[in-house]
Amino acid sequence: AQKVTQAQTEISVVEKEDVTLDCVYETRDTTYYLFWYKQPPSGELVFLIRRNSFDEQNEISGRYSWNFQKSTSSFNFTITASQVVDSAVYFCALSGTYKYIFGTGTRLKVLA
Amino acid sequence: DGGITQSPKYLFRKEGQNVTLSCEQNLNHDAMYWYRQDPGQGLRLIYYSQIVNDFQKGDIAEGYSVSREKKESFPLTVTSAQKNPTAFYLCASRFEITYNEQFFGPGTRLTVL
pLDDT, tens digit, for every residue of B70-94?
Answer: 999 999 999 988 889 999 999 999 9
Best mutation target among A10, A44, A97 (most B Cβ atoms within 10 Å) is A44
State the pLDDT at residue A58: 82
Which string of b and e fits A87-98 if b means at least 16 CB within 10 Å? Answer: bbbbbbbbbeee
State the pLDDT at residue A56: 81
Contact A77, A21 (CB under 8 A): yes
State the pLDDT at residue B53: 95
State the pLDDT at residue B111: 94
pLDDT band at B11 (very low <50, low <70, confident <90, very high): very high
Check pLDDT > 90 for residue B1.
no
- CB contact B3 to A (< 8 Å): no
Chains A, B: CB contacts within 8 A come to 57
How many CA atoms lie less than 13 Å away from A65 in the CB half-sphere?
A: 11
How many CA atoms lie less than 13 Å away from B59 in the CB half-sphere?
A: 13
Question: Nearest CA to CA, how far is B18 from chain A (Å)?
Answer: 24
Select from B70, B65, B88 the least CA-distant residue to B24.
B70
For the residues B9-25, what does the mean pLDDT come to?
93
Contact A13, A81 (CB under 8 A): no
Q: Do B101 and A97 touch (CB under 8 A)?
A: no
pLDDT band at B25 (very low <50, low <70, confident <90, very high): very high
State the pLDDT at residue B81: 87
Residues of B in contact with A35 (CB under 8 A): 101
Burial class (CB in 10 A: 0-12, 13-18, 19+), A11: middle
State the pLDDT at residue A30: 87
Question: Nearest CA to CA, how far is A86 from chain B (Å)?
Answer: 18
Q: Do A43 and B88 touch (CB under 8 A)?
A: yes
State the pLDDT at residue A1: 80
Question: How far is the C-alpha of B14 from the C-alpha of A79, rounded, in Å?
Answer: 43
CB atoms within 10 A of CB A82: 22
B60 vs A56, more confident = B60
Question: How far is the C-alpha of B5 from the C-alpha of B23, rounded, in Å?
Answer: 6
Portion 55-74 of B in contact with A at CB < 8 A: 56, 58
pLDDT band at B26 (very low <50, low <70, confident <90, very high): very high
Which residue ranges in chain A fall short of pLDDT 70? 97
Burial class (CB in 10 A: 0-12, 13-18, 19+), A72: exposed
Return the minimum-mean-pLDDT range out of A74-78, B61-65, B101-105: B101-105
Q: Tell me what the pLDDT averaged over chain B comes to.
A: 92
State the pLDDT at residue B98: 64
Check pLDDT > 80 for residue B2.
no
Portion 15-54 of B in contact with A at CB < 8 A: 33, 40-43, 45, 48, 50
Q: Do A45 and B92 touch (CB under 8 A)?
A: yes
Q: How far is CA B11 from the centre of its chain?
A: 14
Ranges assigned E (strand) in chain B = 4-7, 10-13, 19-25, 31-37, 43-49, 56-57, 64-66, 76-78, 87-94, 103-104, 108-112
pLDDT band at B24 (very low <50, low <70, confident <90, very high): very high
Q: Do B45 and A45 touch (CB under 8 A)?
A: no
B40 three-state secondary structure: coil
For the residues B39-49, what does the mean pLDDT come to?
90
State the pLDDT at residue A57: 80
